[in-house]
Amino acid sequence: MSQHRHPGAPGRAGAVPALPDLPEATVARLPEYLRALHALADTGHETVSSEGLANAAGVNSAKLRKDLSHLGSYGTRGVGYDVTLLIEQIESVLGLTQCRSVALVGVGNLGHALAGYDGFASRGFRIAALFDADPSRVGEEINGLVVRHVDDLARVAVEESISIGVIATPAPAAQAVADQLVAVGVTSILNFAPCVLSVPEGVDVRKVDLAIELQILSFHEHRKASLTALPGGLAATDTQEAIGT
Amino acid sequence: MSQHRHPGAPGRAGAVPALPDLPEATVARLPEYLRALHALADTGHETVSSEGLANAAGVNSAKLRKDLSHLGSYGTRGVGYDVTLLIEQIESVLGLTQCRSVALVGVGNLGHALAGYDGFASRGFRIAALFDADPSRVGEEINGLVVRHVDDLARVAVEESISIGVIATPAPAAQAVADQLVAVGVTSILNFAPCVLSVPEGVDVRKVDLAIELQILSFHEHRKASLTALPGGLAATDTQEAIGT
DNA sequence: AGGCGCTTGTGAAGAGGTGCACAAATCGCG
DNA sequence: CGCGATTTGTGCACCTCTTCACAAGCGCCT
């Protein structure tokens, strides 16, 4: 998880239509539900049960029902959920009704791929500008966008009304880029650089580190290897819980 | 989170030197500590306090101490942790003492970038083979590796003793690739395709979906926008959280 | 209209993670 | 040698998330 502190919570916000104050874990799963729902809609389904949607999203059906219950009662007992209605609701909650403009900084190996990734556009995000610090890369055209120098960030960010910044630079440059993004008023950052960013309060940072995912897999692999290397195979249940502290 | 069920082994035998049975949350943070430790080692630090390392890793110092305590007492009270020793311990626990071979399937936009990502090699992973289903891509050389056809997966996987598979194909192809990987004996998969994979028990799948991260950010952005639009103007300035620095 | 089967929504219990606060342990110094 | 400064390791309370189990609600069929 990343840094997420949302301070004003105790003072209940008054009469705003819907500020559901969703649990973080639920928010993290909503996009997955949304993807599954779109797939269902594309295959002609009009309604879906919690069981069916849970399977499509890879979660437990009870968890799914509790998650959806946090955004209101949009299901019909005995029937299920209306696919179209649920899509609208989730998109509304996630703030996807408006198309958000993304600035991508760092057009190296990874940044290049991100610039061409069509999963963003199909989910309502528009990559509005590309930046790099390397002058030899400035001017290059990627996917219909021209790479600009990072010094132009301030001007362009305002022009394009950027709401999310993506950092795909090498680690040493990431903090400086983050500072620039914050200075321009960006309050949401997706960081692919393998380093910790320090940002002022109110700015959300999410981190994606590809190497870390591999290391976590490595741990489980290592663990499984230790287990299968045991004498007697895995059915040997006579020795157990010998491990204390 | 991803699918992590290790149910079939209720009696996990315990005669092995150290099977700490770490909490998942701890495992997920160890790589971050490791990165911070390497950075400290490179700058000449020989020891580090929990406070110092916690700052470098972007977490709370109490959490860090508890995490490290799960792998044993490798710190010295009044002094801190020996950087080199701690690196060795964490790498040992994560199973990084041996270089793991990775097979990357799907050499499209994203796969291309992953193949060239040097963060893998620097963390002890070796991309041992590249695959694609598109014949026009087979034979292409990327970063010193030749792209092979996915039908050769079985043969090559054995030759190269692949231990982790990375799926960077379009979503519709992902399940078939996963099945092939599993058939070859791969039990750890990192999935970049936006879909749910179903795999037999004992196989670990971790999912990275770039669009989902953006959608989570979008939610918080949406939420912040709603808050600042409130009448009472309970601006977020009353609580200063001073996030990890 | 009434009953029946199906599905949602939710209270409650359980599991897991977090952070505080402090005792225990170690080092350096007088 | 003992004392104080410092830092680890951890018991405990709190909190969030998960899972179970079931009542309430809905539609269909007779």
> Which of B94, B119, B150 represents a domain boundary (last residue)?
B94
Our CA dihedral for A53, A57, A62, A66, rounded to 10 degrees, sits at -90
| CA of A153 vs chain B CAs: smallest distance (Å) | 20
Which carries the bigger pLDDT value, residue A82 or residue B233? A82
Question: A12 touching B, CB under 8 A?
Answer: no
Residue A49 has pLDDT above 60, yes or no: yes
A95 contacts B218? CB cut-off 8 A? yes
CA distances from B34 to A27, B40, B60, B164 (A): 29, 10, 16, 20
Sheet containing B204-207: order of strands? B141-142, B145-149, B125-132, B100-105, B164-167, B188-191, B204-207
Distance B24 CA to D20 C1' (A): 23
Same domain (yes/no): A135, A42: no
| CA of A7 vs chain B CAs: smallest distance (Å) | 6
Mean pLDDT, rounded, for B103-119: 95
A207 → chain B, closest CA residue? B213
Spatial distance between the Cα atoms of A147 and A140, rounded to a whole number of angstroms: 5
Which pLDDT does position B4 carry in this prediction? Answer: 45
Any known ligand binding at A111? yes
Per the DSSP assignment, residues forming a β-bridge with A132 are A149
Domain residues for the domain of B49 are: 24-94
Same domain (yes/no): A105, A43: no
Residue A113 is assigned to a structural domain of this protein: yes
Backbone angles phi, psi at B56, to 5 degrees: -65, -25
CATH number at A130 reads 3.40.50.720
Question: A25 touching B, CB under 8 A?
Answer: no
Spatial distance between the Cα atoms of B9 and B36, rounded to a whole number of angstroms: 34
Q: Percent of chain A, pLDDT > 70? A: 85
Which residues of chain B are within 8 Å of residue A32 when distances are taken between CB atoms? Answer: 209, 212
CA distances from B107 to A143, B130, B242 (A): 18, 7, 42
Candidates B85, B119, B81; CA nearest to B102 is B119
Q: Which residue's CA shows the smallest distance to C1' of D25?
A: A77
B95 contacts A222? CB cut-off 8 A? yes
Mean pLDDT, rounded, for A195-222: 97
CATH number at B60 reads 1.10.10.10
Residue B19 has pLDDT above 70, yes or no: no
Which pLDDT does position A15 carry in this prediction? Answer: 39
Spatial distance between the Cα atoms of A28 and A32, rounded to a whole number of angstroms: 8
Candidates B52, B22, B27; CA nearest to B37 is B52
Residue B75 is assigned to a structural domain of this protein: yes
Same domain (yes/no): A115, A197: yes
Same domain (yes/no): A137, A75: no
Which pLDDT does position B20 carry in this prediction? Answer: 64
Q: Give DSSP secondary structure letters for chain A.
A: --B---TT-SS---S-S------HHHHHHHHHHHHHHHHHHHTT-SEE-HHHHHHHHTS-HHHHHHHHHTT---EETTTEEEHHHHHHHHHHHHT-SSPEEEEEE--SHHHHHHHH-HHHHTTTEEEEEEEES-TTTTT-EETTEEEEEGGGHHHHHHHTT--EEEE-S-HHHHHHHHHHHHHHT--EEEE-SSS-----TT-EEEE--HHHHHHHHHHHHHHHHHHHTSTT-TT--SS------
Confidence of residue B41 (pLDDT cuts 50, 70, 90): very high
Which pLDDT does position B230 carry in this prediction? Answer: 57
Which residues of chain B are within 8 Å of residue A7 when distances are taken between CB atoms? Answer: 236, 238-239, 241
Same domain (yes/no): A40, A90: yes
Which pLDDT does position B244 carry in this prediction? Answer: 32
Strand runs labelled E in B85-187:
100-105, 125-132, 141-142, 145-149, 164-167
Confidence of residue A235 (pLDDT cuts 50, 70, 90): very low
Question: B172 touching A, CB under 8 A?
Answer: no
A50 touches strand D (CB under 7 A): no
Distance A79 CA to D27 C1' (A): 8
Which pLDDT does position B9 carry in this prediction? Answer: 37
Per residue, the 3-state secondary structure of B23-36, as one string, reads CHHHHHHHHHHHHH
Specify the number of domains making up chain B.
2
Averaged pLDDT of chain B = 88
Spatial distance between the Cα atoms of A118 and A108, rounded to a whole number of angstroms: 18
Same domain (yes/no): A106, A178: yes
Same domain (yes/no): B107, B205: yes
Half-sphere exposure at residue A2, Cβ-oriented, CA atoms within 13 angstroms: 24
Residue B136 is assigned to a structural domain of this protein: yes
Spatial distance between the Cα atoms of B169 and A36, rounded to a whole number of angstroms: 18
Q: Buried (b) or exposed (e) across B58-90, using 16+ Cβ within 10 A? A: bbebeebbebbeebeeebeeeebbbbeebbebb
Same domain (yes/no): B60, B118: no
Which pLDDT does position A39 carry in this prediction? Answer: 97
Question: B11 touching A, CB under 8 A?
Answer: yes
Mean pLDDT, rounded, for A181-200: 97
Any known ligand binding at A71? no
Question: A57 touching B, CB under 8 A?
Answer: yes
Any known ligand binding at B191? no
Which pLDDT does position A222 carry in this prediction? Answer: 96
Our CA angle for A91, A120, A200, nearest 5°, is 80
Distance A98 CA to C3 C1' (A): 48
Residue B219 is assigned to a structural domain of this protein: no
Mean pLDDT, rounded, for A10-31: 71
> Which of A94, A116, A143 represents a domain boundary (last residue)?
A94
Mean pLDDT, rounded, for B149-169: 97
Contact residues, A window 75-114, toward B, CB-based 8 Å cutoff: 93-96, 100, 102, 109-110, 112-114
Region of poorest pLDDT, from A38-52, A183-197, A229-243? A229-243
